[in-house]
Amino acid sequence: MNPQGMYGSADDHGGMPPESQKSPTDLDVPEGAGGGRHVRRSVDVRRLVARLSRLTSLSGEWVLFLLMLAAGLVVMASATWAAGEIYESVHDRSGLAAVDRPVLDRMVQWRQPWLDSVMTAFTTIGGTVVLPIITSVVVLFLAWRWRSWLPVALTVFAASGSVAMTVIGKQTVGRVRPAHEFAVPPFEVSPSFPSGHSLNAVVVVGVLVYLLMVRERRLARRRTLLLFLAVYSVCMGLSRVYLGHHWLTDVLTGWLLGGAWLVFVVMTHRFVATLERARRRREAHGVVDSPA
């Protein structure tokens, strides 16, 4: 057999073809069956690499989500367990609940007329009138700016759970607030455990902070937002104890339950977002991979 038979030779074709008769394939790959196999192998390799790249990218997203989920579950479980322990101490009137009265007495000693006014004004921000108004304005602005109903849906979901936990907790436990003689007016008459102001401070304001962080790429601003959430939540809870509207354990439980629910809301959104990104990538690459 002619060793050049597989690929052909210049003599077999009467010399090299003129440049005008050469196709791009003639210039780039060898002629004959071997060249065709080479082209097919090259295309197959490129497709395999592209698919592996997409698979790696999607796998990376899911690995990151699963790591976040694991951390979130640890936080949720720890916060829920701690809230349960506080409830047991309140029910048994022992343990951590034993510090409620001493802490309230110390707050009464620290009161000043000007500070009472400041605390009353601040705690009003986290009440059932002002906080919903502020939240609605911010959420509707974000929905308009982003051309998306995500801020509305996520905030309604978070707030619904927060209100449900507050109402159910208060009605179930039925704890009495500190006596009016230890409180700063206006007085409140609903059950005390847990603190709704503290719980909503973490959940509602926490969701607003999370929404702002979703599209914020600058690390410094993200840290500032988280710091604001922490300071606001702590100050709101302490203001409730200072004014004598709640016991310390009411506030601690509100923080813990609010933190657990906020983590659940964020994890739910991250799961949905990861699914949506995976779907979009599959659709986009499905168009690319389809034969012309």
Query: Each residue of 255-267: pLDDT tens digit?
Result: 999 999 999 999 9
40 pLDDT tier (thresholds 50, 70, 90): low
| Nearest by Cα to 273 from 150, 116, 128 | 150
- Give the count of beta carbons closer than 10 Å to the beta carbon of residue 59: 11
The answer on pLDDT for 22 being more than 50 is: no
Specify burial of residue 231 (Cβ count, 10 A radius: 0-12, 13-18, 19+): exposed
Q: For residue range 153-163, list pLDDT tens digits in order.
A: 999 999 999 99
Instruction: Please report, for the chain, the start and end positions of each structural domain, with discontinuous segments joined by +.
Output: 67-288
Question: What's the rounded mean pLDDT across residues 249-276?
Answer: 93
Whether residue 191 is preceded by a cis peptide bond, meaning omega within 30 degrees of 0, is no
Q: What does 36-57 look like in DSSP terms, one character per residue?
A: HHHHHHHHHHHHHHHHHHHHHH
Q: Is the pLDDT of residue 290 over 80?
A: no
In this predicted structure, the answer to whether residue 35 has a pLDDT above a threshold of 60 is: no
Reported as a pLDDT band with limits 50, 70 and 90, residue 7 is: very low
